[in-house]
Chains A and B, each alone.
Chain A
Amino acid sequence: MYPQSMQESIKKLNETRNFRMTQKIPLLTPEAKQDLLKRFHPDYIEQAMREIKVGPNKGERTPHEFADLFEAYSLIDPQKIEIKKPDIETDVLIIGGGGAGCAAALEAQAAGAKVLLVTKLRIADANTTMAQGGIQAADKPNDSPAIHYLDVMGGGGYKNVPDLVRALVMDAPEIIAWLEELGVMFDKSPDGTMQTIHGGGTSRKRMHACRDYTGLEIMRCIKDEIINRQVKIMEFTSAIELLTDEDGRCAGALLLNMENGQLLVAQAKATIIATGGAGRLHVQGFPTSNHYGATADGLVIAYRAGAKLVFMDTIQYHPTGVAFPTQIVGQLITEKTRSIGAQLVNAEGERFIYELETRDTVASAIIRECKERKKGVTTPTGDSGVWLDTPLIEIVSGPGTILKQLPAMYRQFINFGIDMTKEPILTYPTQHYQNGGILINDKGESNIPGLYVAGEAAGGIHGRNRLMGNSLLDILVFGRRAGRASAQVALGLFPNKKNSKIGLTHIIKYHQELEAIGIPKERKSPKLLPDYRPAPFKGHFTFLDRLNM
């Protein structure tokens, strides 16, 4: 239910709908787009970032929230932990149980490697499960991987690593075929043709979807296979440091049982970081669409071991996070709503941007509308947002379209008495995706021998801005590639030096650097879980206390 103060603006929106339906808004010129980004995109706010003082990316800028984690001490004292015999020995250790980690596990095991997958929550508690809109792949006759390539590069500001983009677009058709074989229920016509639509920044309709539960549907099927094939998994187990050997090679990880504080040494011939994103860091105070565990842990532990990061100065803010009701602020409203006809409308009932510009552009336009032009709609808690005219979907694409194609979103709002088939939805950008991450090559290898990365934790694929539908694709493409490559290492296809002492010497060295620049001792990372409790609880009686028992 919208309060009276917001109803006034809904009236204006209803009045302008007929006009808006025929109104054409052209794509911005490249110059206009650049200007909009520079003036309103949060990445361009100088004081929100600082130069990192230690580690491989020393001197590069990143949001304070990330820098605080990099310029921090380990949760454990490396001097006190003596590693004699590992508790666990495996060929491939996978850290993270979302789409990337699970895809890697299936491939590595299929290649013959002994796999252990650890995840700090449950398998499938991941952003993958929350992905609604779809997955891109150039598999229609009017499309090609080359056209897809160009869309990805343009969307990423031409900064993407070409080898990685090539892998992404060239593997895409095979990924869809793999999912089809796994039994993923794609939206199809009776003859089997995929019902594909546009996403922001696509030049062909190549978004494959499963209603608006695309990620959930993919994840359910992959998780089922993880269980069927009896991949060894440990839930509620996080990795709090990597282990290295005397040659600087990654040799596994130090694991933490999240429930009883027990530490376990897991030695592995190859390690894959698939820890996902960082929305729960709440960069610049933004709400987030991400799952509870999205705290950049993999980045932190890899960085301490010497992994090179890229594009850590760019965050993707999804244009349409929920701005009302307050209970669900920040949760995602899929881009698919705009793909199938919903328009963005300000408090005066006016459109202000073509809805399928790239995400960075649309988010910037919404911020401009609210902050500079003061044409946002104000909520009872004083927040500001713009309308997403969802009833228009039913007019443009036919009555019943919302229940059929956006059942998750319909449920999300009807719970709070808002019927999106009849009333619009209020939106504002939300922290959604970490565009950068640990730099990988097209096998998923980082610069540290034996360390692989897949999924949102990896960087370089999407340059400075990811397009909708390329993340579900990327986790599977690079998850599978990392799974294959790591298994090859583990199976001895590449020589792997034996009997080198493994330990935490890299942490001791990193700590010395931190001390030299005077980082306060109480600053520790990885974060593992956010703490949303109010004072006096916040920071006290946390699950981490068990670590110090």
Chain B
Amino acid sequence: MEYVTIYVMGKEYQVPKGLTIMKALEETGYQFVRGAGCRGGFCGACGTVFRTRDSYKTKVGLACQTVIEDGMYLTQLPFYPANKALYDFKKLAPTGETLVALYPEVMRCIACNSCTKICPQDIKVMDYVNAAIRGDIAKCADLSFNCVMCGLCATRCPAEIVQYYVGLLARRLYGAYIAKPAPHLKTRQKEMAEKKFDDEIAKLMAMDTKALKELYDKRDIEK
């Protein structure tokens, strides 16, 4: 087996080539309590910062999705302090003023683009922060959609913005107030209140397996 050298918080380890950072850490004897979550790239628990020998650049990745490289110096950032604004969501208006009132620090953005550069999801973070400043909630919501809330953007921000909470609020405002409510859902809720389907369900519940199976096997399937 081919091995590569990695440095876990500065300490040197030899691990088999081709592992993800997460599996490499386990290979060195770590059992995660913090720093591991879904292990599938969705939860943002395993944000990892690293440098390699060939570049001065700080790089990042989710430990469960990033393959180790020879000479990688790494540390996990399983947590980073951030203040989330508290709000009564039902009382908010879907405007830029709402975003700025709850997160006034967005106005401090100096357009350095550090957040975009560090995002392991390749989200254009600075662009959505700018959309928030302009009051373009729809754009902010759309651009931030793939966010797994790992928090790495906030670790780099010289203006101390917590970008991922701004994106979260923009998406909720968009989903609740800007996107149109589903008209068919309103109709169905009304029908449910009128107990339109209760009898039919009761009839199905009273059927034995044989009768149900007959119905099921000949049910029509929407094309």
Contacts and interface: CB of A to CB of B under 8 A. Distances in A.
Interface stretch (A38-46, A54-62, A225-233, A444-452): A225-233
Contacts of B175: 180, 182-186, 221
Nearest to B62: A415
B4 to A, nearest CB: 14
Contacts of B89: 182-183, 224-225, 228
> By CB atoms of chain A within 10 A, which of B29, B42, B65, B67 has the most?
B42
Contacts of A193: 182-184
Contacts of A408: 41-42, 146
Nearest to A546: B33
B88 A174 contact: no
Interface in B177-212: 177, 179-185, 187-189, 192, 197, 200-201, 204-205, 209, 212
Interface string A112-145: 0000000001101111011000000011111011
Contacts, number: 231
Interface in B85-125: 86-90, 121-122
A510 interface: no
B176 A181 contact: yes
A412 interface: yes
A150 B32 CA distance: 43
Contacts of A141: 184, 187
A213 B200 CA distance: 34
B54 interface: no
A327 interface: yes
Contact of A533 (B26, B87, B171): B26
Interface residues of B, number: 72
Contacts of A147: 219
Contact of A139 (B36, B185, B212): B185
Given A150-B219, A183-B176, A327-B67, A191 B42 contact: no
Contacts of B141: 185
Interface string A182-205: 111110101111100010000111
B180 A191 contact: yes
A198 B222 CA distance: 9
A185 B143 CA distance: 13
B197 A170 contact: yes
Interface in B21-44: 23, 26-27, 29-34, 36-43
Contact of B215 (A139, A150, A173, A211): A150
A115 B200 CA distance: 38
Nearest to B202: A166
Interface string A393-422: 000000000000001100110011000000
A436 to B, nearest CB: 19
B221 interface: yes
A230 B90 CA distance: 16
B71 interface: no
B2 interface: no
20 contacts: A122-B37, A126-B38, A129-B43, A130-B43, A138-B188, A141-B187, A151-B216, A158-B213, A183-B172, A191-B180, A194-B184, A198-B222, A221-B172, A224-B172, A227-B86, A259-B34, A327-B18, A327-B19, A327-B20, A543-B31
Lowest 10 A-B CB distances belong to which pairs? A192-B180, A183-B172, A183-B176, A183-B175, A154-B216, A125-B37, A146-B200, A291-B38, A185-B175, A537-B29
Interface of A: 30, 121-122, 124-127, 129-130, 138-142, 144-147, 149-151, 153-154, 158, 162-163, 166, 169-170, 173-174, 176-177, 180-186, 188, 190-194, 198, 203-205, 211, 213, 215-217, 220-221, 224-225, 227-228, 230, 236, 258-259, 289, 291-292, 326-328, 331-332, 407-408, 411-412, 415-416, 529, 531-534, 537, 541-543
